[in-house]
Amino acid sequence: MTFDSIRGQDRAVQTLRGALGRGRLAHALIFAGPPGVGKRSTALALATALFCKNEPGLGCGACEDCHLMETGGHPDLFVEDLARAREEKATATRLSIAQIRRARSQLSMRPVMGDKKVGLVDQAELLTTDAQNALLKTLEEPPGQTTLILVATNPDALLTTIRSRCQYLLFAPLERELVRELLVDEGFEADLAESAAALAEGSLDRARALAADGGLEYTAELRTKLARLPKATLPQVLDLAAELAAPRGEKGHAQQQLNRATVLDWCRDRVLEAAAGTEPAVGTEPDDHDRLDDVRRALRRVDRAYAINREFERNANSHLAWDRLLLDLRQSR
Ligand SMILES: [Zn+2]
């Protein structure tokens, strides 16, 4: 994993290469941006560039350090994420203080291969407050030649004191055409790749979830269910909430993001629909007043969907959040 293999994030990569070239890379960085746009890959490429002794600041792709990075076994890189949290507790939904303590103690040990250590905390928005406070200590007294990278889809969930100590790097959504290309490269059919890329809003993760295992059909079905919400019974609404909250094995996280994105999209479409209104019958005036009311209602729904999306990033209990969102959508008139 070198900078050359990162697609669609030229600006972020240039910034990092520039900082490395001038010896001005911060000790702690936040990579912020939507899911599935290459934040974690770029963090790994940065670690490669730091470790590589053949082409320092770049990564040669051939030396022992680069090889170990490629196989995921570099002894001077430490990764903490939700997957690791779940190795200890299968139902974990947050990154724990124990994980941050472990990262801290590992970073304080002497490097094995050279003189540098890199710590990567992925899904940092899921850190508990205790874990964030522990992290703050590491940021205040960075041990030796270490670089700490926090990857986050929602950096607002991090303490201000953490954010102020890190260099910020923003990752933009990927171009639709690039997402399509990457899906085709991964072996998806051209038509499927095209449709999935169109709905993915620049996220490769989301595009993959859409393209794989009938994701497009699933999304269409979900939209139909949402359209029927105002007429659904209470048990039907709660059933749908349970279905949306249920983690689906390995893909649980991607599926959750897809569900949330689909609901947000659907709410946004209602705004456009309300704004367009229906054509008035021949000989009658359009009722602007009613139309404005419809737009306001639709905007309120988007607002709620956004608010609950932010809540999902922080709240462990996604089932409860889904209940509330769907009940809201059912009765928001
Ligand atoms: Zn190398």
Task: Give whichever of 63-67, 240-244, 324-328 has the largest mean pLDDT.
Answer: 63-67
Residue 71 confidence (pLDDT) above 90: yes
pLDDT at 92 (0 to 100): 86
Residue 76 confidence (pLDDT) above 90: yes
What separation in Å is there between the alpha carbon of 170 and the centre of ligand 1?
A: 26
For the ranges 64-68, 119-123, 208-212, 278-282, the lowest mean pLDDT is seen at 278-282
pLDDT at 254 (0 to 100): 67
Are 39 and 143 in the same domain?
yes
Note whether 305 and 270 are within 8 A (CB): no
E strand segments, the chain: 28-32, 77-80, 117-121, 146-152, 167-170
Are 164 and 252 in the same domain?
no
pLDDT at 291 (0 to 100): 75
Q: Let me know if residue 251 belongs to a domain.
A: yes
Distance CA 168, CA 114 (A): 27
Distance CA 125, CA 84 (A): 15
Q: Let me know if residue 43 belongs to a domain.
A: yes
What separation in Å is there between the alpha carbon of 48 and the centre of ligand 1?
A: 7
Q: Let me know if residue 185 belongs to a domain.
A: no
Q: Let me know if residue 259 belongs to a domain.
A: yes
Q: Which domain-ending residue is among 170, 198, 225?
A: 170
Q: Averaged over 176-202, what is the pLDDT?
A: 92
Ligand 1 (ion): residues with CB under 5 Å are 52, 54, 60, 63, 66
Instruction: Look up the pTM and report it.
Output: 0.77
Q: Let me know if residue 202 belongs to a domain.
A: no
Residue 332 confidence (pLDDT) above 60: no
Residue 281 confidence (pLDDT) above 90: no
pLDDT at 253 (0 to 100): 66
pLDDT at 331 (0 to 100): 77
Distance CA 253, CA 251 (A): 6
For the ranges 26-35, 196-205, 237-246, 249-258, the lowest mean pLDDT is seen at 249-258
Residue 301 confidence (pLDDT) above 80: no
pLDDT at 172 (0 to 100): 94
Q: Confidence band (pLDDT; 50, 70, 90) for 314?
A: low
Are 218 and 160 in the same domain?
no
Are 165 and 217 in the same domain?
no
Are 163 and 217 in the same domain?
no
CA atoms within 13 A on the CB side of 98: 9
pLDDT at 206 (0 to 100): 87
pLDDT at 317 (0 to 100): 63
Note whether 269 and 220 are within 8 A (CB): no
Note whether 327 and 237 are within 8 A (CB): yes
Are 251 and 146 in the same domain?
no
Enclosing domain of residue 66? 3-170
Q: Averaged over 290-311, what is the pLDDT?
A: 77
Are 269 and 157 in the same domain?
no
What separation in Å is there between the alpha carbon of 62 and the centre of ligand 1?
A: 5
Are 222 and 320 in the same domain?
yes
Burial tier of 63 (Cβ tally within 10 Å: 0-12, 13-18, 19+):
middle
Whose tokens are 């100590």? That residue is: 165
Residue 246 confidence (pLDDT) above 90: no
Q: Averaged over 173-184, what is the pLDDT?
A: 95
pLDDT at 249 (0 to 100): 53
What separation in Å is there between the alpha carbon of 53 and the centre of ligand 1?
A: 6
Residue 54 confidence (pLDDT) above 90: yes
Are 22 and 81 in the same domain?
yes
Are 166 and 218 in the same domain?
no
Are 99 and 219 in the same domain?
no
Q: Confidence band (pLDDT; 50, 70, 90) for 140?
A: confident
Contacts of 133 (CB under 8 A, 6+ apart): 159
Q: Let me know if residue 201 belongs to a domain.
A: no
Q: Let me know if residue 154 belongs to a domain.
A: yes
Are 231 and 293 in the same domain?
yes
CATH code, domain carrying 7: 3.40.50.300
What separation in Å is there between the alpha carbon of 25 and the centre of ligand 1?
A: 19
pLDDT at 329 (0 to 100): 82
Q: Let me know if residue 9 belongs to a domain.
A: yes
Report the number of distinct structural domains present in the chain: 2
What separation in Å is there between the alpha carbon of 224 and the centre of ligand 1?
A: 51
